[in-house]
């Protein structure tokens, strides 16, 4: 049922009990959403009670006691029950309640702000962590690249050093070969000069043994010249 259906049903039950129609509907519409009305209907006050006993003949549209209270859900009248009439909330109580609600709202706002601050700090820390991790990876990569560059430079210097040493050895060998060549040419020149001197000697006036010796040397020179193909 809707709220209006319930209200219509209650008016019918009221008319059945009181033998008259409910004359304060306009009051109900004004008060049903008021804080004091809601508080009175949900918070019984044990200090202020009013016993409502059944009457042999129900009074007609009076503001005295009602004969009984009724169950709205089951449409059954329950007799001989105690109805507790609660005192409406006073100004101080209502002010205290509003103050408590305001403090509670402030606490909720404060907790939400604290939660948001902690969340922002957590995000900032996470961002800083990933930033430091990226910086560490970048530093490690640069370190590895520097190591590779240094190793390449070392190998290049080693290769240049080996190349220079090899060139030095080759120069030394070339110089030695040149020296030996010059020495050989010098020896050959000296030998040619000696052969030429021997070949130019006039041994006719020398003693017989000397003449035979130099003649043999001259024949050896000629034979050697013929073998090498050099003829002067």
In sequence order, the β-bridge partners of residue 77 are 70
Residue 18 near residue 61 (C-beta atoms within 8 A): yes
Query: Which of 24-38, 50-64, 115-129, 200-214 tops mean pLDDT?
Result: 115-129
Q: What is the pLDDT of residue 156?
A: 94
The proportion of the chain whose per-residue pLDDT surpasses 90, expressed as a percent, equals 28
Which H or E element spans position 78? strand 76-79
Q: State the distance between the two ends of the chain, measured CA to CA, in whole angstroms.
A: 150
- List the beta bridge partners of residue 112: none
Where does the pLDDT of residue 61 fall: very low under 50, low under 70, confident under 90, or very high at 90 and above? Answer: very low
Place of tokens 């004359």: 23
Q: Which two tokens stand for residue 14?
A: 């009221």
- Among candidate residues 72, 54, 74, 73, the one with its CA nearest the CA of residue 64: 54
Q: What is the pLDDT of residue 199?
A: 82
Confidence grade of residue 58 (pLDDT, cut at 50, 70, 90): very low
pTM score, whole prediction: 0.33
How far, in Å, CA of 91 to CA of 225, rounded?
A: 150
The average confidence (pLDDT) of the chain is 78
In tens, the pLDDT along 133-153 reads: 999 999 999 999 999 999 999
């Amino acid at each position: 049922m809707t709220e209006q259906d319930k209200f219509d049903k209650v008016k019918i039950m009221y008319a059945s009990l009181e033998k008259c129609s409910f004359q304060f509907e306009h009051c109900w519409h004004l008060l049903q959403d008021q804080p004091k009305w809601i508080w009175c209907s949900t918070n019984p006050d044990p200090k202020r009670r009013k016993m409502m006993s059944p009457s042999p003949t129900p009074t007609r549209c009076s503001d005295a006691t009602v004969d009984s209270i009724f169950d709205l859900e089951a449409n059954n009248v329950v007799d001989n029950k105690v109805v507790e009439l609660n005192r409406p909330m006073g100004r101080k109580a209502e002010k205290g309640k509003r103050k408590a609600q305001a403090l509670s709202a402030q606490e909720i706002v404060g907790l939400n702000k604290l939660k948001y601050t902690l969340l922002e700090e957590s995000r900032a820390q996470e961002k800083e962590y990933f930033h430091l991790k990226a910086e560490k990876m970048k530093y490690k990569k640069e370190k590895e690249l520097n190591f590779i560059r240094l190793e390449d430079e070392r190998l290049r210097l080693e290769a240049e050093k080996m190349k220079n040493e090899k060139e030095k050895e080759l120069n030394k060998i070339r110089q030695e070969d040149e020296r030996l060549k010059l020495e050989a040419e010098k020896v050959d020149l000296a030998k040619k000069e000696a052969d030429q001197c021997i070949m130019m000697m006039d041994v006719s006036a020398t003693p017989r043994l000397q003449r035979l010796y130099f003649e043999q040397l001259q024949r050896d020179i000629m034979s050697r010249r013929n073998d090498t193909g050099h003829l002067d």
